[in-house]
Amino acid sequence: MVKISAFKAIRPVRDKASLVASRSYLTYSENTIIEKLDNNPYTFLHIINPEYKKKNKRNDKQKFLKIREKFTEFVDEKILIRDKTNCFYVYQQKNELKTYTGIIGTAAVKDYLSGKIKKHELTLKKREEKFCDYLKLAGFNAEPVLLCYKENSNINNIIQKYILSRAEYEFTTTDKSLHKLWIINNNDDIKKISKEFKKIDDLYIADGHHRTASSALLSKVSKTESSSYFMSYLLSEKQLNILSFNRLIKSLNNLTAKNFIYKIKEKFNVVERSSHCSPTQKNQFSMYLENQWYSISLKKNYNKNSNKLDPSILSFYILKPILNIIDERTDKNITFVEGNIPTKELKKQVDNSNYKVAFILKPIIIDDIKKIADKGETLPPKSTYVEPKLRSGLTIYSI
């Protein structure tokens, strides 16, 4: 039984929704951010970067307060408006390959703390604390946590009813994705949605572990009603698109390529390939090293003694003992590459000598992620790249 509630979102006026909504600022290059800030006075990036033209950097507290000030300015200028009643929001994102349709609402922090909202990744304490300070000083959260749940036909029926009507927002972004948002302000439908989620025993964090942990931290220092909840995008687990996070390694820990492969062969079968071949089996990886592709798979005598998932296998048998990468969250010898980046780009990085070796991983299925979460265990950082990636600023939760 989980508690999902409607809330009064602060959101863009209809004619400016496409201009306000942005990707997470972390996904933009510095030059792209400046270009967008220079040419779009309504982008949410102005709120996150309120003094981008100033060279003198402020400390975090000063910056967060300036963000709050800019946010208030957007509200005062009626670029952003606040709904007068508690609502749920149906958000749909459609690209050339897939359509995602779910509900934006608020989840209870207590359900996260009690283990009903389950995690599968470790978080960094410093990032938790920094984002907690941001929430406290800025006073809002504009990027929902992605939570998934087991398919529910009653929730689907309510969603279907709304997507047949005119959307409050409908716009296409430069990545050719179509975005739509509908407002659920009917009290009966709101009650039905909350009631259906109460029948669900567990939710799983698909994306947003740090945001969730930071909200939980905030709830301990701020006893307000709003800090007891965090904004979430709730999506049926069947709709998730789970890709891998691949690895690029800068240094072979003073080993030659020959010696590196020799050490890998102690526990893995290593086969040369004429071209890239994506891994298809559990405990199997593709590796690119010195102009050569390899398929490496864990030997049976090690495989049968392990029920770990592939990112853990790679860490346990190669990254830690051979490359001395002990903490992947902080080690500068490793770079994580999203699974939607073409393999040829990783190959290019190795060919250009920016990195020594690339590892390509097979995506993890949702059932395996749930098993890890149910056991209270965690995967190495950047084990999954989950889509959809949501736009910031479409719905904003005031704290």
pLDDT top residue among 105 and 59: 105
The residue-averaged pLDDT of 196-220 equals 96
The residue-averaged pLDDT of 373-399 equals 92
> Of 8-17, 155-164, 247-256, 302-311, which gets the smallest average pLDDT?
302-311
pTM of the model: 0.90
The residue-averaged pLDDT of 296-301 equals 89
C-alpha to C-alpha distance for 319 and 247, rounded to whole angstroms: 10
Q: Within 10 A of 308 (CB to CB), how many other CB atoms are there?
A: 20
Place of tokens 């964090």: 205
Contact 66, 58 (CB under 8 A): yes
Domains (range + CATH), the chain: 4-241+387-398 (no CATH), 243-385 (3.30.1760.10)
The token pair at 389 is 């990636």
Instruction: Report the share of the chain in percent with pLDDT over 70.
Output: 99
The 10s digit of each residue's pLDDT in 31-62 is: 888 899 999 999 999 999 998 877 777 888 99
pLDDT top residue among 327 and 234: 234
Reported as a pLDDT band with limits 50, 70 and 90, residue 303 is: low
According to DSSP, the residues that pair with 397 across neighbouring strands are: 141
Collapse the DSSP code of 88 into the 3-class scheme (helix H, G, I; strand E, B; otherwise coil) and give the result.
Answer: strand
The residue-averaged pLDDT of 206-223 equals 94
Question: What is the chain's Cα-based Rg?
Answer: 23
